[in-house]
Amino acid sequence: MDTMTLLALTKYSKAGASSRYRFYNYQKYFKKEGITMTISPLLTQKYLESTNKYNKILIICLAYLKRFFLIVNILIKPKKYDVLLIEYELFPYVPAWFEFLLSKRGINYSVDYDDAIFHKYDKHILLKNKIAKVMRYADKVIVCNAYLEEYARKHNQNIFMIPTVVLLDKYKEAIQEKKYLKHHSFVIGWIGSRTTSPYILEILFILELFMKKYDDVVLHLVGFDVLLLKNKTPKIKVIPWNQNTEIEEILNFDIGIMPLRDDAWARGKCAFKLIQYMSAKKPVIASNVGMNCSLVEEGINGYTVSSDEAWFEALEKLYKDKSLRERMAKNNFAKIEKSYNHAIHAKYYSQILKGI
């Protein structure tokens, strides 16, 4: 078996969801395929945990300095790694100078996207075309959905699509071991982060109306920014996200929801929340936006909705019909096993990196 050394330059440490699912989770499989992947995150767990503005600025400055010296070292010793794999860009909010230098030095790098990062620079005069240049200088561009692929293909013809997927065996194990609680309540569930929390506010009024109509309905928000809730009621439970318990928390849901605002940024998302819910055998309701539409088959494994009325109606259908929930749950799990299986995509990913 041919061996390969790979340096993954991620944005975050393992604590960051995008880096964990699109890089760290592949490390073990790559090793079996003869690819030794070293991971060097730009921002460590300290950055993610820090709430102090000035402390974060200091962490960022030190992180940029550390990466600068790393890239300089790679430019001086280009044969140290066979392949570089970059998450998004080398330095956020810095022109694509270093990506340009890598390409001029003949150092092949691939770049991976699970978000429409290019939209962050839409209104920035100097950086408007930055991500286009990063893609153009790259040997390969890896994306998670059709929206990102459409953009990437304008700047590079070597495009590969790999969705963001979970380690399904962990979900199977948790389901078999029944690592969840049996609630007397009907649980509407959401999992996310501080950055995606505002999407819940888009439908919070509807969720509160629904909980008011049905006494046994509660809302679980995992990883939600509690500061956004002005009037927290006993029916809304905010649960801190924890890597070790996130699967158990999802298993406690009766249905999983993924509201989104219909804008360019949301259309670039990889619908990962839905993949998590579906892996846990949960029916889903999602905004009719972007990749959500390709994951959800209307009435088969969930519902896509575009209005407050549609949200309420979909919630009510699933609440009242247990057999419908069970059927959708079964269909969801079958879909994940067939099309969003980590093992399948890990093999494909290793082949891409090896140039097969």
Residue 47: what pLDDT? 82
Taking residue 226's Cβ as centre, other Cβ atoms within 10 Å add up to 13
CATH 3.40.50.2000 in the chain is located at 4-165+341-354, 168-339
Domain 4-165+341-354 class in CATH = alpha beta
Q: CA–CA separation, 98 vs 84, rounded Å?
A: 13
Q: What dihedral do alpha carbons 13, 19, 22, 27 form, nearest 10°?
A: -10
Q: CA–CA separation, 96 vs 32, rounded Å?
A: 34
CB 219, CB 246: distance < 8 Å? no
Answering whether pTM is above 0.75, one says yes
How many whole angstroms from its chain centre is CA 242? 16
The tokens describing 97, both together, are 């100078």
Tens-digit pLDDT profile for the chain (356 aa)?
578 999 999 999 998 889 999 999 999 999 999 999 999 999 988 887 777 888 889 999 999 999 999 999 999 987 889 999 999 999 999 999 999 999 999 999 999 999 999 999 999 999 999 999 999 999 999 999 999 999 999 999 999 999 999 999 999 999 988 766 666 799 999 999 989 999 999 999 999 999 999 999 999 999 999 989 887 788 999 999 998 999 999 999 999 999 999 999 999 999 999 999 999 999 999 999 999 999 999 999 999 999 999 999 999 999 999 999 999 999 999 999 999 989 889 999 999 998 86
**Fold classification of 168-339 (topology level):** Rossmann fold (3.40.50)
CB 88, CB 111: distance < 8 Å? yes
Residue 341: what pLDDT? 87
Residue 179: what pLDDT? 66
Q: CA–CA separation, 240 vs 269, rounded Å?
A: 23
Residue 3: what pLDDT? 86
Give the amino acid at 95. Answer: P
The tokens describing 355, both together, are 């140039």
Residue 90: what pLDDT? 98
Q: How far is CA 41 from CA 91, 156, 218, 264, 334, in A?
A: 11, 25, 38, 27, 34
Residue 343: what pLDDT? 87
Residue 1: what pLDDT? 58
Residue 52: what pLDDT? 81
